Structure 1
């Protein structure tokens, strides 16, 4: 039995071949044509729709095209899974002369969960000069947590040349923590 889908006017305008009430299979077959720029992780139908919306947004009122900004909105924090991986990250950063921001968090910590996406957005500001990583304290050895001097979650540390040079304990609102982290990074970049 085929499912009937009621499409809004805006979706019908994206593909005029589709009527208001159509079987779901017909929608998926009409959107399944190969398209350029289908590199996102969404299903093909959503990629096609977002591609068309981006094309419509690129048109200026006078009919000319404007250049789209393809810079990332956020950068996913790299995951550190064990002590050896931590040492590799520090060695690589030291060879490149870069600083590293490490977010120590726990899966059960609500403040950590709220803070992580905000730090991913902050990572864009310093990308690619600075690398951001996160460590789940419950999935690494206690020895590594003690070595870093982490006592509370979330803790955000700035490391350079294998040494901790700054630390912020994020026990308050996320936007305050992000501002403090930004300030800590900018002070390091100045020095």
Structure 2
């Protein structure tokens, strides 16, 4: 209830309420931005843009999800927009003919830690990296990911499946390196 009161005050352009919301969410949203951008200056810039957009569009917040989830989506969109703007060329791939196989086994071998997984995600090719990151790390579902990335849900599922395959390969080679270095 407290949060909805603050949001309503923000809708009325109450600056102190906006500051309260900013302080409540800035650290968490900064972490989200850093997971995507890997650069503190870029993350801070994108975070500021995301908050500006959130306060400009706060009248669109209907309370169907938590404010944090709504804001996180804006931050992720801003991060992806930033990354797209830095990339000079993108190659469009028509994945409409592909049909993914559902497989939710995300187990990894013993000895591989979360840092290894995050490091491997960064090494994934661009079109798989964001889908895997949004699904595994940020907890988005296929519908949300497809809306954010402007791809079909089928393409999202396909990219997740292929990204998962690449991720497993990277983690297996990491485990092989660890064994080789320990012998």
Work out whether the TM-score is over 0.5: no
TM-score, reference length from structure 2: 0.28
Q: Which has the larger radius of gyration?
A: 1
From the two aligned structures, give the one with the greater strand fraction: 1
| TM-score, L = length of structure 1 | 0.27
Structure number with higher helix proportion: 2
